[in-house]
A and B are shown apart, each in its own frame.
Chain A
Amino acid sequence: MGLFWIPLLPLLGTVVPLLSSRFGRSFLALFTAIPPLLALLLLLQLAPSVFNGEVIYQSFDWIPLAGLSLTFRLDGLALLFALLILGIGLLVILYARYYLSAKDNMGLFYAYLILFMTAMLGIVLSGNLIQLWLFWELTSISSFLLISFWSHKSEARKGARMALTITGAGGLALLAGLLLVGKIVGSFDLSVVLASGDLLRQHAAYPVVLVLVLLGAFTKSAQFPFHFWLPHAMAAPTPVSAYLHSATMVKAGIFLMARFYPVLAGTELWFLIVSMTGLITLLLGAYVALFKHDLKGLLAYSTISHLGLITLLLGMNTQLSTVAAVFHIINHAIFKASLFMAAGIIDHESGTRDMRRLNGLWKYMPHTATLAMVAAASMAGVPLLNGFLSKEMFFAETLDQVTLGSLSWMVPVLATLGAVFSVAYSARFIHDVFFNGEPVDLPKTPHEPPRYMKVPVEILVALCLLLGIFPGVIVGPLLALASTSVLGGELPYYSLSIWHGFNLPLLMSFLAMLGGLIIYHNRRHLFRFQSQFPEPDAKLIFEWLVQRLVRLCSAIIDKLENGSLQRYVFLLLLAALVLMAGPMIDLNATLGHQSSMPVDTVSLIGALLLAAGAIATVILNRRRLVSLLTLSVVGLIVSLAFARFSAPDLALTQLSVEVVTMILLLLALFFLPQSTPKESNPRRLVRDLSLAGLIGGVIGTINYAMITRPLDSISGFFLENSKTGGGGTNVVNVILVDFRGMDTFGEVAVLGIAALGIFKLIVHMRLYMPSTDGNGLPWSPDRHPMMLAIVSQSLLPLALLVSVYIFLRGHNQPGGGFIAGLITSVAIIQQYIAHGVDWIKERLRINYQWMVASGLLIAGLTGIGSWFFGRPFLTSWFDYFSLPWVGKFELASAMVFDLGVYLTVVGATLLILANLGKLTTSHSPAAKENN
């Protein structure tokens, strides 16, 4: 259970800072630190068994059929990263307490920070690929919130957007890659995937998988050409930079490469892509860092360069280089986090980060200066510091490269060149800021920061020294453990010590030191040379690209979605035609083997009437009322056909829907022009006619082909089980309320939602009301003719009786809740027509929204009721009873469900029709608002 709590504690801890804002800033920081601290203790408690070679594994099934589970897995690599995330996270919490000003919303900041911490822990501890991806995206989102924390600054917003776009897009590529991996391996479980290296590497889709996964890793770890988001993310508060952009988030990409190292690495393609990307990033970052005047800009490009170095090491494909990569992950996290914190202190106490103005700070803040100088020396790779050790390993590995063939000598030379620039920018960081004359025009007089603000830096710098001097004791076991899990097997021999004798790597270090100092000394010439190039602003290029993309997309959308219904229908039908016609061409014969039924005259005439009605509707479409009449003919004949071909339920439903539709259309037609203007030119007419003809032909052929072939459907099952299983002889109704009760429940829910949506649309509607009819004649003054009123009123009890009858017998004979509901609503609508809204309002005090809600509630509760008997949702129950006079009768829980359907249908229909009708009266919601 312990492992599960490590990400869960910070997740719960996200709310702690939000709740404890009122206790003051120090207590806020203290309370915030408690959940991560507990998680760290838990992790340390689990660590010994990991050191014993165990992989701790915990899994909860979520959707086992889809291979989805909540799985956490702790091995050496995960342990290393979790330690970094929690350890540096705690230091950053302490640091941020002093960094943030009283104006900043500290609780919110901490909440984002802890959310990010949860996401990172989720990535490194995930034992399931999809889960890993989920947390991966969560880091993108939480880092977006953190970068844009000072949202009043334009560059913070822009930087955050850029970071989110790049890492989010990479995340999508990663998802595609992970899905492919899951498809190839057959499981999303990390342990299974890690054991299927050969399968993956030999699969035809391996290059695609590799490129997709690497796209995810490179965007996150700011590798060339995706590196440009990182410098812009420096608009974030410095604690964020120290945490996300040195130790954790940018390392997530590195982590991903290390995680999949056992299964994806080891091929020529991996070597080529990873090492070349790493090398370019290493050189580019180191070179650009020297020219940055912004303190954090320098550190950002230096981070890019070091990330490139780690990537290069991972791409070298020797076991030792992998150990060096893991070692440099640790070292870089430690010295870079402390440097960012130091830069934050300098910014905080002097008011600027511009190195052209920051000079000679040694006098003002000697303590901070010492700390920053040690960390910067580690970054440069000065002996006795941790940066030196991993850099030596790096140099040694570059010397062993043979993969570039006769050009292999270039790798160590370029590596040394990168190191030269690394020394030069480190020297600039030290010399420019702390010496080199007096500060120029600073907004504040610099001084030492509060005591505890320095503590995190001190801890990290002490680690730099300890690691640099006693590497074997401090980090040896952890490094061995993490490297073992990256390599997935035996560790190569390596020695962690400061002195390896006079050898080539030492010479390279020496050359780098010398070259770096020379370059720094002569930097003026280099700066002048560099100033001849126009400096490209990634922000502008990025914005330009994004805007072009948006314009392109809107152009496509405008083409497809131009607001013309005709266009939509045309495209939809065209797509349907293409999809349907293909398989039909493959079908050899239209006619199947089933013998056809004899054709009788009545059916034939009915078919002719149907066709004539349909054609008349099309031809008369511009005279709206007339085409509505011909459309009713179509509906009527279809109902007759349903009755004729043994589907009485369908006939009843069709009839009642037909009336409701006509009333709805009449209500709407009142507000519309009586005739449609001629819109189509002849060319469009021909185009649309041919498409309609083709569609009709294809659909007709499909139908004909279907009914002339023997069809083995599931109807037999329903027919057999309807009486015994569902207790009803009307199979249609038993299917609706029992076999497919869940579908019906979904459908009535949709109906209810649609009705509420329409009601919502109508609420604020104000419509023009025509004062004359289509021929320009005034309306009749008689609002409610007495004949109509009296006939309608006498119809009401009859109609209600019919609807009760249809409802009750529905289970065994044609009928049911849906039809009964429609009949009831039609009967009530008839009263609206005959008597008007005012008359009904006094007599029928029902809130239709409540009716929809209670109908849904009844249907839902009936379904839930079966849980109490230990059955699945919507299992129905029935039994037979007998009463004197009534005789034997059946009671079924499905009837209660049907009652819910009935109420929803009545409520929804009346909600739509009555409110549409009310629009013209003083009871319309909009009119009420005016009063």
Chain B
Amino acid sequence: MLKIALLLVSGMVCVALVLNLWRLIQGPDIADRILALDTMYINSIALIIIFGMYMGSPLYFEAALLIAMLGFVSTAALCKYLLRGDIIE
């Protein structure tokens, strides 16, 4: 039962990822694109966690943790770039 649910969910996340990429390429605004990338990070976390549950292994947790943490840093840096151009000042 759980396996079927996981497969279903992963399919949905994949659809979300494709749509994210579409938005990223399509734009129109740069803020849309950054948001699309950030959403891709979040969907990736979901995908990895689902995969870990499917495999029954805790090994993948750290990767998800890192995406969560580092994805935030990327997005923050990109936003700072939009705001001030100079990200470290």
Interface size class of A (residues with CB under 8 A): 35 or more
Known: A666-B87, A917-B88. A602 touches B41 (CB 8 A): no
Q: Is the interface of B mostly helix, strand, loop or mixed?
A: helix
CB-defined interface of A907-918 with B at 8 Å, one 1/0 digit per residue?
A: 000000110111
Residues of A within 8 A of B51 (CB): 602, 643-644
Residues of A within 8 A of B40 (CB): 633, 636
Q: Decide yes or no whether A689 CB sits under 8 A from chain B.
A: no
Q: Is the interface of A mostly helix, strand, loop or mixed?
A: helix
Q: Decide yes or no whether A795 CB sits under 8 A from chain B.
A: yes
CB-defined interface of B58-89 with A at 8 Å, one 1/0 digit per residue?
A: 01101101110110111011111111111111
Residues of B within 8 A of A827 (CB): 73
Residues of B within 8 A of A612 (CB): 21, 25
Known: A643-B48, A663-B87. A601 touches B11 (CB 8 A): yes
Residues of A within 8 A of B89 (CB): 783, 836-837, 917, 920-921
Residues of B within 8 A of A799 (CB): 69
Q: Decide yes or no whether B14 CB sits under 8 A from chain A.
A: yes
Of A629, A644, A783, A799, most buried by chain B (CB within 10 Å of CB) is A629
Residues of B within 8 A of A834 (CB): 76
B78 touches A829 (CB 8 A): no
Q: Decide yes or no whether A648 CB sits under 8 A from chain B.
A: yes
| A812 smallest CB distance to B (angstroms) | 12
CB-defined interface of B12-48 with A at 8 Å, one 1/0 digit per residue?
A: 0010011001001101001001101100110010011
Q: Which of A625, A655, A780, A913 contacts B70 (CB 8 A)?
A: A655
CA gap between A64 and B18 in the complex, in Å: 61
Residues of A within 8 A of B69 (CB): 795, 798-799, 802, 823, 826
Q: Which of A636, A652, A914 contacts B62 (CB 8 A)?
A: A652
Residues of B within 8 A of A868 (CB): none
Q: Which of A662, A780, A837, A913 contacts B84 (CB 8 A)?
A: A780
Q: Which of B30, B63, B65, B79 contacts A643 (CB 8 A)?
A: B63
Residues of A within 8 A of B63 (CB): 639, 643, 648, 651-652, 655
Residues of B within 8 A of A785 (CB): 83
Instruction: Count CB-based A-B contacts (< 8 Å).
Output: 160
| B82 smallest CB distance to A (angstroms) | 7
Q: Which of B18, B81, B85 contacts A605 (CB 8 A)?
A: B18
CA gap between A601 and B13 in the complex, in Å: 12
Residues of B within 8 A of A779 (CB): 83-85
Residues of A within 8 A of B11 (CB): 601-602
Q: Decide yes or no whether A439 CB sits under 8 A from chain B.
A: no
B86 touches A626 (CB 8 A): no
**Nearest neighbor of A626 in chain B, beta-carbon distance:** B33
CA gap between A734 and B67 in the complex, in Å: 25
Q: Which of A601, A633, A639, A833 contacts B80 (CB 8 A)?
A: A833
Q: Which of B10, B47, B62 contacts A806 (CB 8 A)?
A: B62
Q: Which of A629, A648, A795 contacts B24 (CB 8 A)?
A: A629
Residues of A within 8 A of B33 (CB): 626, 629
**Nearest neighbor of A916 in chain B, beta-carbon distance:** B88
Residues of A within 8 A of B47 (CB): 602, 640
Known: A670-B85, A918-B88. A814 touches B80 (CB 8 A): no
**Nearest neighbor of A771 in chain B, beta-carbon distance:** B85
Residues of B within 8 A of A814 (CB): 59, 62
Residues of A within 8 A of B76 (CB): 788, 791-792, 830, 833-834
Q: Decide yes or no whether A599 CB sits under 8 A from chain B.
A: no
CB-defined interface of A635-672 with B at 8 Å, one 1/0 digit per residue?
A: 01001100110001001100110110011001101100
Residues of A within 8 A of B59 (CB): 648, 813-814
Interface size class of B (residues with CB under 8 A): 35 or more
CA gap between A6 and B34 in the complex, in Å: 75
**Nearest neighbor of B50 in chain A, beta-carbon distance:** A602
CA gap between A633 and B67 in the complex, in Å: 12
A629 touches B34 (CB 8 A): yes
CA gap between A585 and B86 in the complex, in Å: 51
| B60 smallest CB distance to A (angstroms) | 6
| A714 smallest CB distance to B (angstroms) | 24
CB-defined interface of A740-762 with B at 8 Å, one 1/0 digit per residue?
A: 00000000000000000000000
**Nearest neighbor of B60 in chain A, beta-carbon distance:** A643
Residues of B within 8 A of A63 (CB): none
Residues of B within 8 A of A648 (CB): 59-60, 62-63
A633 touches B21 (CB 8 A): yes
**Nearest neighbor of A669 in chain B, beta-carbon distance:** B81
Known: A601-B14, A633-B40. A640 touches B48 (CB 8 A): yes
Residues of B within 8 A of A425 (CB): none
CB-defined interface of A586-626 with B at 8 Å, one 1/0 digit per residue?
A: 00000000000000011001101100110010001000011
CB-defined interface of A895-931 with B at 8 Å, one 1/0 digit per residue?
A: 0000000000000000001101110110000000000
B77 touches A662 (CB 8 A): yes
Q: Which of A602, A656, A783 contacts B66 (CB 8 A)?
A: A656
**Nearest neighbor of B80 in chain A, beta-carbon distance:** A833
| A915 smallest CB distance to B (angstroms) | 10
CA gap between A616 and B24 in the complex, in Å: 10
Residues of A within 8 A of B84 (CB): 779-780, 783
| A772 smallest CB distance to B (angstroms) | 8
Q: Decide yes or no whether A450 CB sits under 8 A from chain B.
A: no
CA gap between A659 and B88 in the complex, in Å: 15
A656 touches B70 (CB 8 A): yes
Residues of B within 8 A of A792 (CB): 76
CA gap between A707 and B27 in the complex, in Å: 38
CA gap between A626 and B77 in the complex, in Å: 14
A602 touches B87 (CB 8 A): no
Residues of B within 8 A of A602 (CB): 10-11, 14, 47, 51
Q: Decide yes or no whether A886 CB sits under 8 A from chain B.
A: no
Q: Decide yes or no whether A773 CB sits under 8 A from chain B.
A: yes
Known: A626-B33, A640-B48. A667 touches B88 (CB 8 A): yes
| B83 smallest CB distance to A (angstroms) | 5
| B41 smallest CB distance to A (angstroms) | 7
Known: A605-B18, A783-B84. A659 touches B60 (CB 8 A): no
Residues of A within 8 A of B72 (CB): 791, 795
**Nearest neighbor of B37 in chain A, beta-carbon distance:** A629
Q: Decide yes or no whether A186 CB sits under 8 A from chain B.
A: no
Residues of A within 8 A of B14 (CB): 601-602, 605-606
| A657 smallest CB distance to B (angstroms) | 10
Q: Decide yes or no whether A832 CB sits under 8 A from chain B.
A: yes
| A773 smallest CB distance to B (angstroms) | 6
**Nearest neighbor of B34 in chain A, beta-carbon distance:** A629
CA gap between A667 and B84 in the complex, in Å: 11
**Nearest neighbor of A662 in chain B, beta-carbon distance:** B74
Q: Decide yes or no whether A368 CB sits under 8 A from chain B.
A: no
A636 touches B41 (CB 8 A): yes
| A762 smallest CB distance to B (angstroms) | 13
CA gap between A655 and B17 in the complex, in Å: 18
Of B30, B48, B60, B70, most buried by chain A (CB within 10 Å of CB) is B70
Known: A636-B44, A666-B87, A669-B81. A626 touches B21 (CB 8 A): no
| B69 smallest CB distance to A (angstroms) | 6
Q: Decide yes or no whether A390 CB sits under 8 A from chain B.
A: no
A659 touches B74 (CB 8 A): yes
Between A and B, 12 residue pairs with Cβ closer than 8 Å are A616-B21, A651-B63, A652-B63, A655-B67, A666-B78, A666-B81, A670-B86, A783-B89, A791-B76, A792-B76, A833-B88, A836-B88
- Beyond A609-B17, A629-B34, list 5 extra A-B contacts (CB 8 Å): A605-B14, A630-B24, A652-B63, A658-B70, A670-B86
The 10 closest A-B pairs by CB, nearest first: A917-B88, A659-B70, A605-B14, A780-B83, A832-B88, A655-B66, A651-B63, A643-B63, A920-B86, A666-B81
